[in-house]
Amino acid sequence: MHTLVLLAHPYAKSYCHALYERVVQTLEASGHTVDRLHLDADGFDPVMRGPDLAVYAKGQSADPAVAAYQARIDAAQQLVLIFPIWWELMPALLKGFLDKVLTKGWAYEPSRWGVKGHLDHIQRAVVVTTMNTPKWAYRWLYGNAVHRSLVRGTLRKCGVRQVQWVALSPVSHASQKKRQAWLDQVAGLFTR
Amino acid sequence: MHTLVLLAHPYAKSYCHALYERVVQTLEASGHTVDRLHLDADGFDPVMRGPDLAVYAKGQSADPAVAAYQARIDAAQQLVLIFPIWWELMPALLKGFLDKVLTKGWAYEPSRWGVKGHLDHIQRAVVVTTMNTPKWAYRWLYGNAVHRSLVRGTLRKCGVRQVQWVALSPVSHASQKKRQAWLDQVAGLFTR
């Protein structure tokens, strides 16, 4: 499967980067082709500006980068998103990627029952997150906000049927052994 | 009360703008002082870049705009946030404002019980959102993600005890009469 692996983390020595490299290596070793998308390195501008919004209803964007990202998603059969959870959610850079790239008409269209997703060529999406909040607190206090908004409210809404979320936590105090085990666990999702 | 009113919406004729103008007018007519913060017009850069992250643990920011925003929040006793819900969440511009401006040491610090908030000088925060998703769907399918992440996981965590969320929906098909009633309802929160 051709897989688009998206990373949203600015620090090159972050654990998210290690996950990103490991996922890419594992996919390539398993015979898949990989499209690396390092959003910070790309210099993507996540802000939906007046001119973007003015043409949004027509299914267009004023940012020329958007069409190129859409072509890369069109070409993918699998999607991997790797990012840290800051203030219970994805970084602004990834939020803006959703805001701007998932245009009406291309990613979805309004239907009688709400929304019809157009990204059903994506056979699987895997969301890998790091955070310091304990998992129980993230679930019970903050309602698994990334799952509700990104998995259910964005990817599934856009027609991606199979979406897995791997929540790694707490990362800041994790031992080297634990970090290694998590890398293996995430890699294990991509070995065939 | 000195109130910081923050708007995150790029389109000058949006309903969010109408809400913003009405809130500002109402506060001023009630004898409060207002600090208008139109994040789009400010040209705020919401991206947490490498240099920002490198000094985050030290409670600093590489973006000179951050300290000025913090001073404006320091001066406020009340906070109003007005924005549209896109993909179940706030626009990237506002998400990045939280990521960058709510620095460690200033907005909060890690404590034995998780986090101790420092913004307890804010006596009240009001979050006003617009969306097209019906309220029942936003609650049951998407877990009131803005409430969980922003109200509970950010503002309350930073020490703001009283936070109200006013969810206006569905906006796109609302009649003029309905829109006017919502403006009155929101204004009613600030008449004394």
Min Cα–Cα distance to chain B from A133, Å: 8
Min Cα–Cα distance to chain B from A152, Å: 7
What is the set of domains in chain B, with CATH numbers?
A: 2-188 (3.40.50.360)
Query: Which value does ipTM take for this structure?
Result: 0.97
| CB of B48 less than 8 A from some CB of A | yes
What pLDDT, on a 0 to 100 scale, did the predictor assign at position B94? 98
What pLDDT, on a 0 to 100 scale, did the predictor assign at position B130? 98
Residue B130: which of B63, B83, B91 has the closest Cα?
B83
Given a cut of 80, whether residue A113 has pLDDT beyond it is no
Residues in B closer than 8 angstroms to A135, CB to CB, are none
Given a cut of 80, whether residue A3 has pLDDT beyond it is yes
Task: Write out the H or E segment, with its range, that includes residue A151.
Answer: none
Which A residues, 130 through 149, put their C-beta within 8 Å of a C-beta on chain B? 137, 141-145, 147-149
Given a cut of 90, whether residue A107 has pLDDT beyond it is yes
Q: Which residue of B has its CA nearest to A10?
A: B50
CA B95 to chain centre: 9
The verdict on whether omega for the bond into residue B170 sits within 30 degrees of 0, i.e. cis, is yes
| CB of B21 less than 8 A from some CB of A | no
- Report d(CA A81, CA A8) in Å as an integer: 8
B167, B172, B177, B179 alpha-carbon torsion, rounded to 10°: 40
Inter-chain contacts counted by CB atoms under 8 A, chains A and B: 139
Residues contacting A111, CB < 8 A, separation 6+: none
What pLDDT, on a 0 to 100 scale, did the predictor assign at position B155? 98
Q: At what angle do helices B65-75 and B92-101 cross, to 10 degrees?
A: 80
Condensed to tens digits (0 to 9), the pLDDT of residues B96-149 reads 999 999 999 999 999 887 899 999 999 999 999 999 999 999 999 999 999 999
Asked if the Cβ–Cβ distance from B99 to A87 is below 8 Å, we say yes
Helices of type H across chain A: 15-29, 39-42, 50-54, 64-75, 92-101, 135-140, 145-146, 176-187
Residues in A closer than 8 angstroms to B112, CB to CB, are none
- Report d(CA A160, CA A77) in Å as an integer: 10
Best mutation target among A86, A90, A113, A147 (most B Cβ atoms within 10 Å) is A86
Residue B131: exposure state from Cβ atoms within 10 A (0-12, 13-18, ≥19):
buried
Residues in A closer than 8 angstroms to B39, CB to CB, are none
Best mutation target among A135, A142, A152, A158 (most B Cβ atoms within 10 Å) is A142
- Report d(CA A67, CA A53) in Å as an integer: 15
Residues in A closer than 8 angstroms to B150, CB to CB, are 87
Best mutation target among A15, A44, A48, A103 (most B Cβ atoms within 10 Å) is A48
Greatest Cα-to-Cα distance within chain B, rounded to the nearest angstrom? 51
- Report d(CA B148, CA A13) in Å as an integer: 30
- Report d(CA B121, CA B78) in Å as an integer: 9
What pLDDT, on a 0 to 100 scale, did the predictor assign at position A192? 77
Asked if the Cβ–Cβ distance from B40 to A53 is below 8 Å, we say no
Condensed to tens digits (0 to 9), the pLDDT of residues A122-162 reads 999 999 999 999 999 999 999 999 999 999 999 999 999 99
